[in-house]
Structure 1
Amino acid sequence: MMGRSSTDAANILIEATGIDISPEEFNDRVNKIKVEIFKRAQLLPGAEKLIRHLYRHEIPMAIATSSIRPFFEIKSYQHKALFSLFGDNITCGDDEELEEAKPSPQIYLLAKKRLGLPSVSNSECLVFEDAHNGVKSGFNAGMKVVWIPDYRFCTDSDIPADLHGAHKAIPSLLDFKPEEYGLPPYDN
């Protein structure tokens, strides 16, 4: 369900399980559980190193997450200093300018627009994604996508040969090599 709107996810689960509940009631119950889980959210291994590296080298960065703003705030609370490096460049799934959820490219196109870099082509943008729909979204935006599959929610057999359009799939951000994408190499 990663990368889908909560309404879409609720409808899929209700249909698949046949439970007698409205999507709204389902989401209310799930959201209470999510809050408790999100309070314990941890960074992906290698995320802090990558973010600080890009920031140090003045590479523009943005976050484009399907999470609604309140959930993003809960997830990122333990890492406020790190996420402050993004400034205001955070676009969430409940943003008033968004009309479509991933796999629509809209969230990535909006995040890029907000960076204020009109001379940068979409193909020069690099997306890091952990969800199928996010990979498709970045691909649909014409951006290069590095997929870090979340193996809690998929297996190797779920990863198709075409990688859903991802440029590359890596097991962890620890395996990312910035120089492969024209970025400064890590300062080991």
Structure 2
Amino acid sequence: MLSDRAAKALIFDMDGTIVDNMRFHDDAWERWYGGYDLPFERATFSAKTAGMAISDIIGPHFPGADVAELDRLAEEKESVYRETYRPHVAALTGLIELLDRARVHGVPMAVGTAAAPANIALILDTLSLRERFATIVSPSQGFRGKPHPDMFLAAAERMGVAPADCIVFEDAPNGVEAARRAGMRAVAILTMLDAPAFAGFDNVIASVPDFVALNGLPALRFA
């Protein structure tokens, strides 16, 4: 089966995938929305927006804002998130073991995340993971956010691997859709949503709560 073919490269989303941190983002967003007297639907917000470029989330609320103003507004939210999450940074269960196995087998790995550079640094540098990845791709480099496939396609190109040979790890429908548009298989990480949220995607080969649950998945045997 195509879904069982061993992966030749792995691409990881960051928030909600490498780390289980989405509730801290929600807390920061709720505070930010409240500060501008904007309605905030916490129960559905992350499922709808996770993976999008932050300017695409904020922009519709401030249609006259220029890039500099949108950046300022975004940093208001992100600084709150970093302050509150910093003491809690921890890799999702089983992640390091998967990274170790992939490295032993010479499988390159990348990060494709909508996070701002300072947020990327908070996670990857705190966990000493940056050197594990062949490349890190984000909207700060000029790529569109998810569900556009741009970041994942760029990651595959930089690693020299065909999209069909990549597996993407994602916690959000926007990310899984981006993988689908890129022609990539995806694993849904259920830190934010339950498995039914990903039932409509034909590129999802597994839905799991963490990386330990992927032990034995044929596509990750790297044989």
Q: Normalising by the residue count of structure 2, what TM-score does the alignment of the two structures yield?
A: 0.66
Q: Distance in 2 between matches of 1:160 and 1:86?
A: 26
- 2:112–2:138 CA contact under 8 A, matched in 1: yes
Q: Quote the offset at 1:68 in angstroms.
A: 1.9
The letter of the residue matching 1:32 is S
- 1:132–1:164 CA contact under 8 A, matched in 2: no
Q: Distance in 2 between matches of 1:7 and 1:134?
A: 17
State the number of aligned residues: 168
Of residues 127, 132, 156, the one that matches 2:173 is 132
Q: Tell me the equivalent position of 1:167.
A: 205
Q: Write the mapping of 1:80-99 to structure 2, written as runs, cut at 5 A.
A: 80=128, 82-87=129-134, 89-96=135-142, 98=143
Q: Tell me the equivalent position of 1:34.
A: 81
1:62 counterpart SS class = strand
Of residues 155, 166, 172, the one that matches 1:111 is 155
- Check 1:67–1:24 CA distance in 2 against 1; reply closer, same or farther (3 A cut): closer
- Check 1:23–1:93 CA distance in 2 against 1; reply closer, same or farther (3 A cut): closer
The letter of the residue matching 1:33 is V
- Check 1:178–1:86 CA distance in 2 against 1; reply closer, same or farther (3 A cut): farther
The letter of the residue matching 2:74 is N
Gaps of 5+ in 1: 16-21
Of residues 146, 150, 153, the one that matches 2:191 is 150
Deviations 1:28-84, CA, capped at 9 Å, x for gaps: 32122022134232211111111111011111111111112221011222211x331
Q: Tell me the equivalent position of 1:19.
A: none
Q: Normalising by the residue count of structure 1, what TM-score does the alignment of the two structures yield?
A: 0.77
2:140 counterpart SS class = coil
Q: Quote the offset at 1:181 in angstroms.
A: 0.5
Q: Distance in 1 between matches of 2:199 and 2:158?
A: 33
- Check 1:164–1:25 CA distance in 2 against 1; reply closer, same or farther (3 A cut): farther
The letter of the residue matching 2:158 is R
The letter of the residue matching 2:75 is D
Structure showing greater relative contact order (alpha-carbon pairs closer than 8 Å, 6 or more residues apart): 2
Q: Quote the offset at 1:109 in angstroms.
A: 0.5
Q: Quote the offset at 1:163 in angstroms.
A: 3.8
- 2:114–2:145 CA contact under 8 A, matched in 1: yes
- Check 1:37–1:138 CA distance in 2 against 1; reply closer, same or farther (3 A cut): farther
